Structure 1
Amino acid sequence: MWRALILLFFLAGPLYAAPLTRADLAPMVLAPYELGEAVNDRGVWSLRNSGGGEAGYVFETAPLAPLPGFSGAPINMLVMLDLEGRFLNVRLIAQNEPIFVSGLGEAPFRAFLEQYRGHSINEPLVVGTPYGAGGAASDNVYLDGVTKATASVRIAHESILAATLAVAREKMQGVGAGPAPEPDLAHDEPLEWRSLMEQGLVGRLRVAEPALDAAFKGTKWADDGGDLDPARPYIDLYVIDLGPPALARAVLAQDSLDEIADVRARAPDDELYLLIEAGQHGLVSPDFVRNTAPDRMTATQDGLPLALRDADILPELAEDLPASLQDATKMVLRLDRRLGFDPTRPWELNLQAIRLHGMLMPEAGSVHFPLGLQTPERFFLRPSPPERLSPFAEALRNRAPDLWLLAGFLALLMAALLAQSRLAGLRAYTPVRLAILAFVVGFVGFWGQGQLSIVTVMAVARGLVAGGLEVLLYDPFGLLVWAAAGAGFVLWGRGFFCGWLCPFGALQEFAHHLGRLLHLPRIEPPPSLARALLWSGPVALAGLLATAFVAPQHAETIAEIEPFKTAITMHFARPWPYALWAAGWLLVSMVWFKGFCRSLCPLGAMMRIGGFLRLRQWIPRRPECGSPCQLCRVRCAYGAISPQGKIRYSECFQCLDCVKIHDDPTLCVPLVLEAKRARRPS
Structure 2
Amino acid sequence: MYWRRWLCLSFFLILFTPSLFAQDWLEVSDEAQALFPRATRMKASQDAMPITDIYQLDQTIGYLFETDDLTDFPGFSGDSINLRVGLDVQGRIVGLVLVRHHEPIFLHGLGEAPLYEFIAQYQGLSLKQQVLVGSDQARIASGDLAYFDGVTKATVSVMVVHDTILAAARKVAQARLNGFGSSAKATLNMHQFTPRSFDVLRNERALFRWQLSDDEAAEQLSVNTGRLLAARDAGDENTPFIDLSIALLNPPSVGKNLLGDEEYQRIMQSLAPGEVALLVGSRGGYSFVADDFVAGTTPARFSLRQQGSPLALRDADLYHAQSPVFAEQIAVLMPAFDDVKILTFSDQSGFDPSLPLSFGMTVQLKKNFLESEHVLIDTEYRLPDNVLIPVEPPKPPIPLWQRIWNDRLVEIAILSVYLALLTGVFVFQHRLAGFGRYLTPVRLTALLFVIGFIGFYAQGQLSVVNIYTLLLSLWKGFDITVFLLDPILFVLWSYVFISLFLWGRGLYCGWLCPFGAMQELVAAVAEKYRLRQWKISDGLHQTLITVKYGVLMVLVSMAFYQLSLAETLAEIEPFKTAVTLVFDRAWPFVLYAVLLLALSARVHKAYCRYMCPLGAGLAVLGRLRRFSWLTRREECGQPCRLCEKHCGINAIQKTGQIDYNECVQCLACLAIVSDEHRCVANKYGKNRKSRRATNTLGEGVVVTVSPHNFSKK
| Fold shared by both chains (TM-score > 0.5) | yes
d(CA) in 1 for partners of 2:256, 2:278: 13
Name the CA shift for 1:198/1:415 in 2 (closer, same or farther; >3 Å): same
What SS does the aligned partner of 1:348 have? strand
The offset of 1:509, in angstroms, is 0.8
2:34 paired residue among 96, 111, 120: 111
CA-CA distance at 1:369 after TM superposition = 12
1:435 aligns with 2:441: no
CA-CA distance at 1:348 after TM superposition:
3.4
Q: Give the TM-score, by structure 1 length.
A: 0.59
Q: Secondary structure at the match of 1:596?
A: helix
CA contact 1:451–1:502 (8 Å) conserved in 2: yes
How many residue pairs get matched? 535
Post-superposition offset of 1:510:
1.2
> In the alignment, residue 161 of structure 1 is paired with which amino acid?
V
Query: Which residue of 129, 137, 142 corresponds with 2:51?
Result: 142
1:267 aligned counterpart, secondary structure:
coil
Distance 1:331 1:168, change over 3 A: closer
Shift of 1:184: 3.4
Return the match for 1:597 from 608, 612, 627.
608
Superposition deviation, residue 513 in structure 1: 0.9
Q: Which amino acid aligns with 1:198?
A: N
Q: Which amino acid in the other structure matches residue 613 of structure 2? A: P
In 2 relative to 1, CA 319–445 (structure 1 residues): closer, same or farther, beyond 3 Å?
A: same
1:307 Cα deviation after fit: 2.5
User: What is the one-letter code of the residue matched to 2:188?
Assistant: D
For residues 76-475 of structure 1, the aligned pairs below 5 Å read 107-113=30-36, 129=43, 133=45, 138=48, 140=49, 142-143=51-52, 152=57, 155-157=60-62, 160-162=88-90, 164=92, 172=144, 176-179=179-182, 183-185=187-189, 192-193=196-197, 194-204=199-209, 239-248=246-255, 250-251=257-258, 253-259=260-266, 262=269, 266-268=272-274, 270-274=275-279, 298-301=302-305, 307-310=313-316, 312=318, 321=330, 323-324=332-333, 332-339=342-349, 344-348=355-359, 373-376=381-384, 379-380=387-388, 381=390, 405-420=414-429, 421-422=431-432, 425=435, 428-461=438-471
What amino acid sits opposite 2:383 in the alignment?
T
The 8 Å contact of residues 672 and 679 in structure 2, kept in 1 or not, is answered as yes
CA displacement, residues 15-52 of structure 1 (integer Å, 9 cap, x when unaligned): xxxxxxxxxxxxxxxxxxxxxxxxxxxxxxxxxxxxxx
Q: Quickly say closer, same or farther: Cα 1:259–1:511, change in 2 above 3 A.
A: same
Query: Is 1:534 matched up with 2:545?
Result: yes
Separation of aligned partners in 2, 1:282 and 1:529: 86
Instruction: Give distance in 1, aligned partners of 2:35 and 2:411.
Output: 24
How much has 1:643 moved relative to structure 2?
5.4
8 A Cα contact 1:547 1:555, kept in partner = yes
Aligned-pair CA distance for 1:410: 3.8
Please give the secondary structure, in 2, of the residue aligned with 1:195.
Answer: helix
Counting only pairs closer than 5 Å after superposition, residues 534-613 of structure 1 correspond to structure 2 as: 534-545=545-556, 559=570, 561-569=572-580, 582-613=593-624
**Contact (CA 8 Å) 1:534, 1:599: kept in 2 or not?**
yes
Distance 2:188 2:446 in 1: 58
Amino acid at match of 1:157: G
8 Å CA contact 1:633, 1:639 repeated in 2: yes
**How far 1:674 moved relative to its partner?**
11
Deviation of the 1:447 alpha carbon: 4.7
In structure 2, C-alpha distance between the alignment counterparts of 1:651 and 1:189, rounded to whole Å:
81
Secondary structure, aligned partner of 1:156: strand
Once residues 282 and 105 of structure 1 are traced to their aligned partners in structure 2, the CA distance between those partners, rounded to angstroms, is: 51
Match of 2:665, as an amino acid? Q
- 1:487 is displaced (CA, Å) by 2.5
The CA distance in 1 between the partners of 2:643 and 2:580, in whole Å, is 36
2:436 pairs with 1:508? no
**2-side partners of 1:607 and 1:220: how far apart?**
76
**Alpha-carbon distance in structure 1 between the residues aligned to 2:449 and 2:473:** 32
Cα distance, 1:517 vs structure 2:
1.5
Tell me the equivalent position of 1:83. none
* 1:155 partner amino acid: T
Matched residue type, 1:200: R
Aligned to 1:347, the other structure's residue is in SS state: strand
* Residues 433 and 674, structure 2, Cα contact 8 Å, conserved in 1: no
Aligned to 2:497: 486
Structure 1 residue 499 displacement after superposition: 0.5
Moved more, 341-350 or 240-249: 341-350
Provide TM-score, normalisation by structure 2: 0.57
Provide the secondary structure at the position in 1 that maps to 2:359: strand
Alignment partners' CA distance in 1, 2:415 and 2:312:
52
What is the letter of the counterpart of residue 184 of structure 1? L
Deviation track 1:403-434 (CA, whole Å, cap 9, x = no partner) reads 56545544444444444454983754322322
- Match of residue 13 from structure 1: none
| Contiguous gaps of at least 5 residues in structure 2 | 1-25, 64-86, 94-124, 130-142, 146-169, 174-178, 217-224, 364-375, 690-713
**CA deviation after TM superposition for structure 1 residue 377, in Å:** 5.2
- What SS does the corresponding residue of 1:613 show, helix, strand or coil? coil
Counterpart secondary structure, 2:344: strand
Consecutive unaligned residues in structure 1, runs of 5 or more: 1-102, 117-126, 353-367, 678-682
- Is contact 1:203–1:240 with CA below 8 Å preserved after alignment? yes
Instruction: Find the aligned partners of 1:233 and 1:596 in 2 and give their Cα distance.
Output: 82
Q: Secondary structure at the match of 2:383?
A: coil
**Which residue identity does 2:313 align to in structure 1?**
A
Q: Separation in 1 of the partners of 2:293 and 2:92?
A: 39
Shift of 1:474: 6.7
Write out per-residue CA displacement over residues 242-262 of structure 1, whole angstroms, 9 at most, x where no aligned residue: 233443454454444545654
Contact kept in structure 1, 2:234 and 2:286, CA below 8 Å: no
Tell whether the 8 Å contact from 2:450 to 2:512 is kept in structure 1 after alignment: yes
Name the residue aligned to 2:115. Answer: none
Name the amino acid aligned to 1:196: L
In the TM superposition, what whole-angstrom CA distance separates every residue of 1:501-555 from its partner, at most 9, and x where no partner exists?
2222212211211111111223443444444443343344345545656788875
Closer/same/farther in 2, CA of residues 281 and 106 from structure 1, 3 Å limit: closer
Structure 1 residues 319, 425: closer, same or farther in 2, change over 3 A? farther
Amino acid at match of 1:199: E
CA separation of 1:574 and 1:670: change in aligned 2, threshold 3 A: same
**Structure 1 residues 389 and 128: alpha-carbon distance in aligned structure 2, compared to 1, 3 A threshold:** farther
Alignment RMSD = 5.9
Identical columns (%): 29
Distance in 2 separating the partners of 1:410 and 1:108: 39
Q: Is the 8 A contact 1:154 1:391 kept in 2?
A: no
Q: Name which of structure 1's ranges 465-474 and 503-512 shifts more when overlaid on structure 2.
A: 465-474
Q: Distance in 2 between matches of 1:583 and 1:224?
A: 80
Query: Any conservation in 1 of the 2:641–2:656 contact (CA below 8 Å)?
Result: yes
Shift of 1:498: 1.0
2:313–2:343 CA contact under 8 A, matched in 1: no
